[in-house]
Structure 1
Amino acid sequence: MISEAQFNIEVEGIIKNAIREDVGDGDHSSLACIPETATGKAKLLVKDDGIIAGVEFAKLVFNYVDSSLKIETLIKDGATVKYGDIVFYVEGSSQSILKAERLVLNAMQRMSAIATKTNFFVKLLEGTGTKILDTRKTTPGIRALEKWAVKIGGGENHRFALYDMIMLKDNHIDFCGGLTQAIEKTKQYLKENNKDLKIIVEARDLNEIREILKTEGVYRILIDNFNYEDTRTAVKLIGDTCLTESSGGINEETIRQYAECGVNYISSGALTHSVYNMDLSLKAV
């Protein structure tokens, strides 16, 4: 996984790029009718039910736009919220509040939706010992926020990108010419380039599970698109040799049954690519 420092760089880059995209050479609507010296106060109003996420990100945005803005936090990231709740107040330059408003809302609405869905999946897995993972199926440009939201919702992050973990999937294996070849070449590559990256290998059937187990150095086996029976068999074959992960079209109706097959992790792209934004508003008070 990426370091905290690298993650912070990603988040800072998101803020800079989003403000550039949204503000350009100025928020002319505010500049046209609101005096530069005007001050005001606004509240973040919840108009939905779920898990709130993005409060700490909102603070970073407000600080980036205007470090003199003051935020009073009433509800923290990860808390359950309902219609009518007030998450925070922000006070200071009216122009600054309006400049930051859309980025704060866009981010918090999506992050809260992801955290809410993740938390729903986490609850479905309670008592199984299986953990829910996100994937790289994220919105281009804001991956750090979406993976942050998964953590807030109680899930865990898979690899952040292509550079922080090795994941040998079907296309890698086929392009390379075979499963064993792909694993051995990967281990040699890591050795030659002095890189310490964990290796995950995707298996498409039980025969590939058996082939992977003949090679040392695999951190986790991705049991992809298996049915329940074959998943249970795969888990027994793997034993304590390495960790296990199920994936492939797993949803709220099937996730518990896959967890009960004994896998360590279940990964779901739906956590980040299939959510409906939470309804939030920033209202003047």
Structure 2
Amino acid sequence: MTNIAEVTAPPAAVTATQVKRRLTPSRTALRTVSVLSPVLLLVGWEILSRAGVLDERFFPAPTLIFQALWDEATTGALWEQSRHSLSRLVVGFLIGAVPAVVLGVAMGLSKMVNAALRPIVSALYPVPKSAVLPLFLLFFGLGEDTIWYFVAMGVFFPVVINTFTGVANVSGIYYDVAENFGAKRARVFWTVALPGAMPNIITGLELGAGMGLIMLAIAEMMGGQGNGWGFMVWNSFQLFTIESMYAYLLVFAIVGLLLALIVGFVGRRLTPWITRH
């Protein structure tokens, strides 16, 4: 007769959470992949370029591009151009982002404001932004403020749309509770609408920063200022110094990555209640 004590209990059921944890890569693995993927891309590019598979006239080896970037840095040209471009990007970002957040929250809180502004935003957002640059040059001339406002336009639309979406998606029960406790409109803005929409606002700011960088490149190429990263890309193309052109394109890529990291870092600090994997 089988001893009851010898009977083994069936294994505990594996929960969905446990399965998900087993299948989810570790942070170390994710960071390793994030570092290795661009490195492998550059190594492959270098090999194909040196082997003649890629035409070096149009796809110079990454080592040549980095050498051109180093030369720009040692001569001081890179820092001079960066001074112009970064100041334009920061000013334009602030001009576009601040009113976008305010209007986005107002559209989410007020049906009247939403009815008045949403058709305008929906109509203007799809308009190709590069096609509007001649209007900006016509209105504001060839000044720094033209580039500021052009960058601000690129930042404005992603931020206002994401902010409105975030406020509109906040559960109505929170607004009801605030109203029952006699909270005024300003109080509701700071304690309900803004925190509730913050994840969407952060997403909008990240998208807006990227779009602002694109608008900066277009404005500097076509705006006639004669300086900045965009101008250097266009000038290098005209002079057929392809390594320098790629070098300044690389600057755009690095700055875009840094902006995404900065906005993401700020977003994690402002939304500690959001679970991230």
Which TM-score band applies after superposition, normalised by the shorter structure?
under 0.3
Higher radius of gyration, 1 or 2? 2
Taking structure 2 as the reference length, the TM-score comes to 0.24
TM-score of the aligned structures, taking structure 1 as reference length: 0.23
Higher strand fraction: Structure 1 or Structure 2?
1
